[in-house]
Amino acid sequence: MTIADVTVMGAGIFGLAIGWECARRGARVTVIERDRIGAGASGGIVGALAPHVPEQWNPKKAFQLDSLTMAGRFWATVAEASGRDPGYARLGRVQPLANEAAVELARARAEGARGLWRGSAEWRVVPASNDGWQPPSASGWIVEDTLSARLHPRQAVTALAGAIRAKEGMVHEAASEPRAGVCEPGGNAVVIWATGVQGLADLSAAFARPVGGGVKGQAALFACDAAGRPQIFADALHVVPHGDGTVAVGSTSERDYTSAGDTDARLEALIEKARALCPALRGAPVIERWAGLRPRAKSRAPVLGAWPGRPGHFVANGGFKIGFGMAPKVAAAMADLALDGHDTIPAGFRVEDSL
């Protein structure tokens, strides 16, 4: 069997996950990162792997479901190959329900989950409890889902890089990144562009139309040991306990900003909201504040597939808020396409769908 040479531009979650999947399948992989591993949005702190609601089903939700159900095995193989813990745990999520209308809607979604999730997980409406972790519920009811998981973003990208190197692949940091018009694969070689916000700008320039851009997010990290607790999603806020004695809270979603990398009063408001919602955080100190840009495609779906008009070039971008959750399935679909020519990318995800 001919061994493919795969060059991946970008060492964020999409680039590294695809690099690992290609290396696992026997390809010779080189990852080129102009800054450092996880330098962009993949170096954040939240790590919520949470599903869309089980209703109004579409290819994006089906793709995400496959990815979330693949995640346990995917991250276990990464941990085994690298000897590093990516911080994955499928501990579920709770959501307080504000009123009777929300309770009825949640019960309808529970019925939807029984069919749409195909027995892989549950979405259930249960009485709220005063356990010191759950936020207050005005209705006395909460949603529990057993599909949500958490991942430690920085540990995860470090583990992926280690797994690639364990397969004799190369990951170059602070490297010179060739321009798309200069780097031309030949023979059995391919190039995969997973370059985040800059990659969306490059695509927009190449096709003279907007493909997507960066949306700022801010998040905070508390010193709080809640490692065995489920995630909380309440009032548009994610509260994610990690295994290292921290709890991440995020995030804002900002189209207008002055500085992409600086935190400000919007984060302070988010921190106060988190303390009001979650009893365990009220006395916990904030040990890190984070801000950065996340790559959002015009379609809000990931941008995947062959780069139109550039044989041997492929694109994997647009992870936005769901990049870590989508990564196992994105990696499999891109490896199928780049290595075997087998196209499993759903409608709405293709590069041309964003043009």
State residue 180's pLDDT score: 45
Write out the DSSP string of 133-179.
SSPP-TTSEEEEESS-EE--HHHHHHHHHHHHHHTT-EEESSPPPPP
Residue spans of the domains in the chain: they are 5-86+152-212+298-354, 93-149+214-294
State the Cα–Cα distance between residues 6 and 330, nearest whole angstrom.
Answer: 16
Q: What one-character DSSP code corresponds to residue 257? A: -
State residue 169's pLDDT score: 97
Given 3.30.559.10, 3.30.9.10, 3.40.50.360, 3.20.20.150, which CATH number is that of 93-149+214-294?
3.30.9.10
Report the 10 Å Cβ neighbour count for 212.
22
Closest alpha carbon to 214 in 294, 328, 332: 294
Closest alpha carbon to 328 in 90, 135, 57: 90
Collapsing DSSP to helix, strand or coil, 77 comes out as: helix
CATH architecture of 5-86+152-212+298-354: 3-Layer(bba) Sandwich (3.50)
Q: What is the pTM of this model?
A: 0.95
What tens-digit pLDDT sequence spans the chain (355 residues)?
467 899 999 999 999 999 999 999 999 999 999 999 999 999 999 999 999 999 999 999 999 999 999 999 999 999 999 999 999 999 999 999 999 999 999 999 999 999 999 999 999 999 999 899 999 999 999 999 999 999 999 999 999 999 999 999 999 999 865 544 445 665 678 999 999 999 999 999 999 999 999 999 999 999 999 999 999 999 999 999 999 999 999 989 999 999 999 999 999 999 999 999 999 999 999 999 999 999 999 988 999 999 999 999 999 999 999 999 999 999 999 999 999 999 999 989 999 888 8
The answer to whether residues 7 and 195 touch, using CB atoms and an 8 Å cutoff, is no
